[in-house]
A and B are shown apart, each in its own frame.
Chain A
Amino acid sequence: MPNPRHSDDNPYESWVHEWAPALYRLALRLCGKRELAEDLLQETFFEAWKSRDKLADRDKARAWLFQILRNRWSHHLRDSSRRLKPSHNQESLDQAKSTQPDAVKQIAESDFVQRALDQIEDDLKLPFLLVVMEGYSCQEAADSLQIPLGTVLSRLHRARQALRAVLGRPVAPAQPLEKP
Chain B
Amino acid sequence: MRDPSLFTEEFLEAMSLLPPEDPVRLGFEADMAHADVAIRSRYQQLLKEAVAFRHALQVSLPAGLTEQLLEIPARARVRRHSRFLTRFRAAAAAAIVLMLLAPATAWFLPAGGYERIEKLPAAAAAAVNSPLQVPGTQPSNLGETFANSPLPFFAILPQPKKGTQFLGGGLTTLVGKPAAFGRYRADHHNFTLFFISVNDFPLFGDGQLPMAMTPEGDESLCYWTDGPCVGIMVSEPGGASEPSQVVDMRPLRFNR
> Interface of A with B (CB < 8 Å)?
12-13, 16-17, 20-21, 24-25, 28-29, 33-36, 38-39, 41-43, 45-46, 49-50, 75, 79, 103-104, 107-110, 112-113, 128-129, 131-133, 135-139, 149, 153-154, 156-157, 160-161, 163, 172-180
Contact = CB atoms under 8 A, between A and B. Distances in A.
Interface string B203-234: 10000101110000000000000000000000
A29 B57 CA distance: 8
A106 B208 CA distance: 43
Contacts of A172: 9
Interface of B: 4-5, 7-15, 17-19, 21-25, 35-36, 38-39, 42, 48-50, 52-62, 65-66, 68-70, 72-73, 76, 123, 175-176, 199-200, 202-203, 208, 210-212
Contact of A21 (B5, B25, B61, B72): B61
Nearest to A105: B52
B59 A175 contact: no
Contacts, number: 160
Contacts of B61: 20-21, 24
B140 to A, nearest CB: 25
A43 B203 contact: yes
Contacts of A12: 73
Given A39-B212, A154-B14, A176-B4, A34 B62 contact: yes
Given A34-B62, A107-B49, A178-B36, A20 B69 contact: yes
Given A49-B73, A131-B19, A149-B24, A178 B52 contact: no
Contacts of A103: 49, 52
Give the residue among B54, B76, B200 with the most A Cβ atoms within 10 A: B54
B108 to A, nearest CB: 28
Given A45-B69, A79-B199, A153-B14, A25 B58 contact: yes
Given A39-B175, A138-B18, A177-B12, A113 B72 contact: no
B39 A104 contact: no
